[in-house]
Amino acid sequence: MKSISLIQFLIEARRKGQLNAELSLLIEVVARACKRIAVATGKGALGDVLGGAGTDNVQGEHQKKLDVISNEILLEANAWGGHLAACASEEMEDPQPIPDAYPKGHHLLLFDPLDGSSNIDINVSVGTIFSVLRCPDGISQVDAEHFLQPGVEQLAAGYVLYGPRTLLVLTFGHGTHEFTLDREIGSFILTRRDIRIPEETAEFAINMSNQRHWQPPMKRYIHELLEGSEGPRGKDFNMRWVAAMVADVHRILTRGGVFYYPLDTKNQAQGGKLRLLYEANPMAFLVEQAGGAATDGHQRIMELQPTGLHQRIPVFLGSREEIELVTRYHQQDQTSS
Ligand code: FDP
Ligand code: ZN
């Protein structure tokens, strides 16, 4: 079978009118930066990249050295190409404008440079998540407010999973596609076109240790799954939790399943655990383009109007039938209370 590289795939998509040259360049640049992050994560102790950076990010979380390194790699790679108006990152309080020395483009890039960073030191999968928006016209100075666009406005989204293989999973609104990094030639090669998530599943991902902190509809739903073939669902469910959203979502895009990070008494003051703009929205776009669903327990994630750059929300995504059921339980609870 003839292999198709990411670059060839993007050129063909441009010919079909699915994306423009600037967006194509942006995706190539992000992919190139992620190859460097893959090298850095792969070095581990040999590259002195393990452990804490000794700093906290805007969310008050301790930064790992690789969080900081990955953020710098993405910023540096995206500064000079002329495809961006500004970047925003989990690791930075405010958006970073493109330096004056370089031409500015029409896109806004958001990223979580290294998702699942508690996995770094134990040599388990981590990933990079990104989302691309159009910069509103006539803006000379980009501010956080320009990034506050609902997920339906995303032009592209994707993640790179640094696992046994380095994979790029991408959408620009024409399906969700997977590319595997061929380390010998240094190129991402198309390995799955038009990924489809099965509508039904018997596998769920949730941090069960939070069970006692959940709200009643979540307790009810998970209790029914755990009752298995003896309960109302009439079938047994299996559970997985990698503690890196990228890896859990990738499993769902490979064999189906659902991923939940609900509201609980520990995270409700912040609105949830996961960040809307650079975690939930890009994952929702990828999952919907693969036939799955993504809600905040009440409504479609991609239709939420963001109110802050680092806003957090509850996340329910994956195989459509389960997401519809868990969302219904939350909606019923709201109407009865
Ligand atoms: P992390 O904080 O390590 O970056 O981004 C949030 C996230 O990881 C997700 O990737 C992951 O699914 C979740 O948090 C892990 O949460 P727990 O600590 O509750 O397991
Ligand atoms: Zn993250």
Give the model confidence (pLDDT) of 115-148 as tens digits: 999 999 999 999 999 999 999 999 889 999 999 9
pLDDT at residue 54, as a whole number: 87
- The arithmetic mean of pLDDT across residues 215-226, rounded, is 98
Domain end (from 192, 223, 238): 192
Instruction: Classify residue 278: in a domain, yes or no.
Output: yes
Tell me which of 64, 66, 115, 251 to substitute to probe ligand 1's pocket, judged by most ligand atoms within 8 Å of the beta carbon: 115
pLDDT at residue 62, as a whole number: 86
* 89 known member of a binding site: no
Q: Find the 246 Cα to ligand 1 centroid distance in Å.
A: 10
Same domain, 14 and 148: yes
Q: Find the 105 Cα to ligand 1 centroid distance in Å.
A: 32
Q: Is the CB of 244 under 6 A from ligand 1?
A: yes
Instruction: Classify residue 197: in a domain, yes or no.
Output: no
Instruction: Classify residue 88: in a domain, yes or no.
Output: yes
Same domain, 26 and 165: yes
Angle between helices 245-255 and 281-289 (to 10 degrees): 10
Give the per-residue SS3 of the chain.
CCCCEHHHHHHHHHHCCCCCHHHHHHHHHHHHHHHHHHHHHHHHHHHCCCCEEEEECCCCCEEEHHHHHHHHHHHHHHHCCCCEEEEEECCCCCCEECCCCCCCCCEEEEEEEEECHHHHHHCCCEEEEEEEEECCCCCCCCCHHHHCCCHHHCCEEEEEEECCCEEEEEECCCCEEEEEEECCCCEEEEEECCCCCCCCCCEEECCHHHHHHECHHHHHHHHHHHHHHHCCCCCCCEECCCCCHHHHHHHHHHHCCEEEECCECCCHHHCCCEEHHHHHHHHHHHHHHCCCEEECCCCEHHHCCCCCCCCEECEEEECHHHHHHHHHHHHHHHHHC
Please state the φ and ψ torsions of residue 15, each to the nearest 5 degrees.
-60, -30
Same domain, 154 and 11: yes
Q: Is the CB of 33 under 6 A from ligand 1?
A: no
pLDDT reading at 30 higher than 70? yes
Same domain, 253 and 118: no
255-292 tens-digit pLDDT? 999 999 999 999 999 999 999 999 999 999 999 999 99
Q: Find the 248 Cα to ligand 2 centroid distance in Å.
A: 12
Same domain, 129 and 44: yes
pLDDT at residue 225, as a whole number: 98
In this structure, the residue with its CA closest to atom 19 of ligand 1 is 207
Q: CA–CA separation, 173 vs 233, rounded Å?
A: 34
Domain end (from 169, 192, 215): 192
pLDDT at residue 337, as a whole number: 62
Which range marks the domain in which residue 37 is found? 6-192
Ligand nearest to the Cα of 116, by number: 1
pTM for the predicted model, two decimal places:
0.97
Same domain, 137 and 11: yes
Residue pair 300/146 in contact by the 8 Å Cβ criterion: no
Q: Which residues surround ligand 2, an ion (CB under 5 A)?
A: 112, 115
- Among 36-40, 117-121, 173-177, the range scoring the smallest mean pLDDT is 117-121
Percent of the chain whose predicted confidence (pLDDT) is above 70: 99
Q: Is the CB of 306 under 6 A from ligand 1?
A: no
CATH number at residue 274: 3.40.190.80
236-260 tens-digit pLDDT? 999 999 999 999 999 999 999 999 9
Q: Is the CB of 171 under 6 A from ligand 1?
A: no
* 322 known member of a binding site: no
* 279 known member of a binding site: yes
The atom number, within ligand 1, closest to the CA of 117 reads 3
Q: Is the CB of 129 under 6 A from ligand 1?
A: no
The atom number, within ligand 1, closest to the CA of 241 reads 20
10 Å CB burial of residue 224 (0-12, 13-18, 19+) is middle
Instruction: Classify residue 1: in a domain, yes or no.
Output: no
pLDDT reading at 300 higher than 70? yes
**Number of independent structural domains in the chain:** 2
The atom number, within ligand 1, closest to the CA of 248 reads 12
Domain end (from 164, 192, 220): 192
pLDDT at residue 150, as a whole number: 98
* 64 known member of a binding site: no
Q: Is the CB of 117 under 6 A from ligand 1?
A: yes
- Among 40-54, 146-160, 266-280, the range scoring the smallest mean pLDDT is 40-54
Q: Of 280 and 51, which is predicted with more confidence?
A: 280
Same domain, 174 and 299: no
In this structure, the residue with its CA closest to atom 16 of ligand 1 is 243
Q: Find the 216 Cα to ligand 2 centroid distance in Å.
A: 26
Instruction: Classify residue 69: in a domain, yes or no.
Output: yes
Q: Is the CB of 124 under 6 A from ligand 1?
A: no
Same domain, 208 and 181: no
* 117 known member of a binding site: yes
pLDDT interval class at 114 (50, 70, 90) = very high
Q: Find the 201 Cα to ligand 1 centroid distance in Å.
A: 23
Same domain, 170 and 299: no
pLDDT at residue 276, as a whole number: 98
Same domain, 176 and 274: no
In this structure, the residue with its CA closest to atom 18 of ligand 1 is 243
CATH number at residue 109: 3.30.540.10
Same domain, 61 and 104: yes
